[in-house]
Amino acid sequence: MSAMEIEHNLVIKLSAEKIYDYMADIDNWVEWSGAVIAIRKTMPGTISVGSTLRCTTRFLGRWLETTYEVVELEPGHLFTLKSISGLAPSIFSFRLEPIESGRTNVSVEALIELMEGYLGLEESVIVGALCRQLDYDLNTLRDILEARTSLTGSNTFGE
């Protein structure tokens, strides 16, 4: 078993609170993540530390089912998901750091324990695909949020 750690970040022209509000609504994940096919809470109530989410993804042509637990949650700043079932133990941490002019640095850090023969592929193939996926997802998130802001003329959605 080997561990891989990948981090991607970019700047979005929107406040951390607005970005967090959008990302914290799991119904939006299928919109900004190219890998997420479906996601749902497995417990009633609002998402908090200890909540679990069941996620269906498509990665490298394969459908994967994973259950994640929310292990860190700081509204407007941070949320971290840890897999508790699925093919590979993993942690995904999303950080939002306000910077000048109402912009926010958004980063995602992924730590994945790859089992030997994971998906029947070489580790370099998996790392490359995951890097591209995380980059794509963050760019899509930025494009969606900035386009909505320019269309509404404000930093508020749905008003």
Please report whether residue 98 resides in a domain.
yes
Q: Which residues contact 23 (CB under 8 A, 6 or more apart)?
A: 29, 32, 79, 94, 141
Domain contains 137: yes
Q: Report d(CA 157, CA 159) in Å as an integer.
A: 6
CB 8 within 8 A of CB 107: yes
In total, the chain counts a number of residues equal to 159
Residue 23 forms part of a structural domain? yes
Q: Is residue 15 part of a domain?
A: yes
| pLDDT value for 121 | 75
Token readout for 134 is 């995380």
SS3 state of residue 107: strand
- Picking from 84, 82, 86, the residue whose alpha carbon sits closest to that of residue 64 is 86
Q: pTM for the whole thing?
A: 0.88
Is 31 contained in some domain? yes
What percent of the chain has pLDDT above 90?
73
User: How many domains does the chain divide into?
Assistant: 1
The reply to whether 62 falls in a domain is yes
Residue type, 30: V
> 157 lies in a domain?
no
pLDDT at 84 over 90: yes
Contact 11, 100 (CB under 8 A): no
Task: For residue 148, give the 3-state DSSP assignment.
Answer: helix
Tell me how many helices (H) and strands (E) the chain has. 3, 7
pLDDT level of residue 151 (50, 70, 90 thresholds): low
pLDDT value, residue 159: 41
What domain range includes position 20?
2-152
CATH number of the domain that 110 lies in? 3.30.530.20
Q: Is 159 within the bounds of a domain?
A: no
